[in-house]
Structure 1
Amino acid sequence: MFDLLDILPLSLLIFACAVTLLGGFVKGAVGFAMPLIMISGMGILIEPQIVVAGVIIPIVVTNGMQVARAGLGSAWDSLKEHWRYVLVVCVMILVSAQFLRSIPANAMFIVLGVPVVGLCAIQLVGWHPRIPPKHRRVFEWGAGAVSGALGGLAGTWGPPTVLYLLALDTPRARQMAVQGVIYGLGSLMLFLGHLRSGVLNAQTWQLSALLVLPAIAGMWLGFKLGDRFDQERFRRATLWVLVLAGANLIRRGLVG
């Protein structure tokens, strides 16, 4: 059995827990961004593959909580309607996860940073595509492939999923149920994919399991306190912070 301190010194373990607590709080308060916060935040000081490994089990647990909160009936209806997108996302997460360990460290910072900046910027400007019904099937396959590829490499497929649902003019109440299914099944694929890739291994699973505790604590705080402030303003502030953090990851990848 490996000691956690063999993976990270105590100061970085505390830092990782603090970032995860913040990510859980934001997810509980406004329903998104925990993987983005964990990746961009921990990536400031921690090596990329360790960051991705650390994200995996907290994502599985918190997305399971989100599915349970939405209700299994809604989850099943959502799966029947969006099965093509869900299928492609899950397959692509499994496939792309196998390439993570072959990417050099500097390039990995860019792989993590570019999606964070790009996806957050898209949400800040409020852009989303409009897809006519006759093109829906092609769009589902294509959007699912992009989302799954990002998921396997960078651990996040939430923002592309939001854009996908907006493009289909999915009602907001329905969006939450669909997101719960996609995030829940996708997180299981991420877990299985990185067991196979070796990113989640005898050392890193301990870190990932430890980060479940601050993730749940943060979500609980977010559920309790989320209604006490302007959620739209809080959401935009979070996105701006993520843009800056993602830009810093890109800088690290470019300058070494």
Structure 2
Amino acid sequence: MSDLSIPFLLAATMTFFAAGAVKGVTGMGLPTVAMGVLGALVSPLAAASLLIVPSLVTNIWQLLAGRAFRPLVRRLWPMMLAICAGTMLGSRWLAGGDSGATTTALGIALVVYAGYTLFARQLRVPPRDEPWLSPLIGAVTGIVTGGTGVFVFPAVPYLQALGLSRDDLVQALGLSFTVSTVALAAGLGARGAFAPETMGLSVLALAPALAGMWAGQRLRDRISPATFRRVFLSFLLLLGAQMALWPLL
């Protein structure tokens, strides 16, 4: 990545503030929003590298801010292990710069899921199915994460289908995203895909991302669970549409 002009740095700062604010409200969206904007300015690999530090720190903040850390870890650890394995496997595609078709397909799937759930009945996963479904969802999520740098699908729809409360859902998303970020960093690092210059910019991107997340969390505290659900699903639908159209933008 060679363009370190003032306009690029300002665009990156505003992008990470906006992405952090979205994450503060909905518990997700920082990688997808940032990848969507920065992907138009730099390569997907460079954009994913910029995300590592702000994504990791904001995810840890989100994970530790709730009260259900231990119960969620006990419930979701098979999914988290599978995410690690899948991400390490899938990161070769992102390192090779080939993620356009996968991102489009993921976007279409998110639009279908969010649209159905927003306007129809909420999907639910029976507790008896979690032992086999959690590792499967984790493995697919990991492969998708490694291939696109986006942590959303199918982990987010699955976690929402578990029927968690608003705060527990946000904390569970923090757990999934934290594991995904660490695994993605390890996968890209193992393939020599990090540049020292990019990692330095990733550290600088942390400040606007944290400021945006703080602002978003203040807003989330003021809305009802029903409003949160509508906002959450509406944003998921918009994310899917943006991902589906990404290669055309």
Aligned to 1:87: 81
Alpha carbons 2:103, 2:243 under 8 Å: kept: yes
Aligned to 1:249: 246
Alpha carbons 1:89, 1:148 under 8 Å: kept: yes
Aligned to 2:178: 184
* SS of equivalent residue, structure 1 residue 153: helix
Alpha carbons 1:120, 1:239 under 8 Å: kept: yes
Matches of 2:71 and 2:193, distance apart in 1: 33
* Change beyond 3 A, Cα 1:173–1:206: closer
Normalised TM-score (structure 1):
0.81
Residues 1:207 and 2:201 are matched in the alignment: yes
Q: Given the alignment, which residue of 7, 11, 14 partners 2:10? A: 14
* SS of equivalent residue, structure 1 residue 219: helix
Kindly state the Cα deviation for residue 9 of structure 1 after the two structures are TM-superposed: 3.3
* SS of equivalent residue, structure 1 residue 158: coil
* Change beyond 3 A, Cα 1:148–1:243: closer
* SS of equivalent residue, structure 1 residue 156: coil
* SS of equivalent residue, structure 1 residue 82: helix
Kindly state the Cα deviation for residue 117 of structure 1 after the two structures are TM-superposed: 4.3
Aligned to 1:109: 100
After superposition, the CA RMSD in angstroms is 2.7
Aligned to 1:124: 115
Kindly state the Cα deviation for residue 179 of structure 1 after the two structures are TM-superposed: 2.4
Matches of 2:155 and 2:236, distance apart in 1: 16
Residues 1:35 and 2:61 are matched in the alignment: no
**Structure 1 residue identity aligned to 2:204:** L
Matches of 1:115 and 1:42, distance apart in 2: 19
* Change beyond 3 A, Cα 1:37–1:11: same
Which piece of structure 1 moves more, 203-212 or 123-132?
123-132
Kindly state the Cα deviation for residue 173 of structure 1 after the two structures are TM-superposed: 4.3
* Change beyond 3 A, Cα 1:244–1:131: closer
Kindly state the Cα deviation for residue 144 of structure 1 after the two structures are TM-superposed: 0.9
* Change beyond 3 A, Cα 1:182–1:240: closer
**Structure 2 residue identity aligned to 1:93:** T
Q: Given the alignment, which residue of 119, 143, 166 partners 1:149? A: 143
* Change beyond 3 A, Cα 1:25–1:166: closer
**Structure 1 residue identity aligned to 2:39:** G
Matches of 1:10 and 1:101, distance apart in 2: 27
Unpaired runs of 5+ residues, structure 2, are none
Alpha carbons 2:113, 2:157 under 8 Å: kept: no
* Change beyond 3 A, Cα 1:116–1:211: farther
**Structure 2 residue identity aligned to 1:87:** L
**Structure 2 residue identity aligned to 1:245:** Q
Kindly state the Cα deviation for residue 196 of structure 1 after the two structures are TM-superposed: 1.5
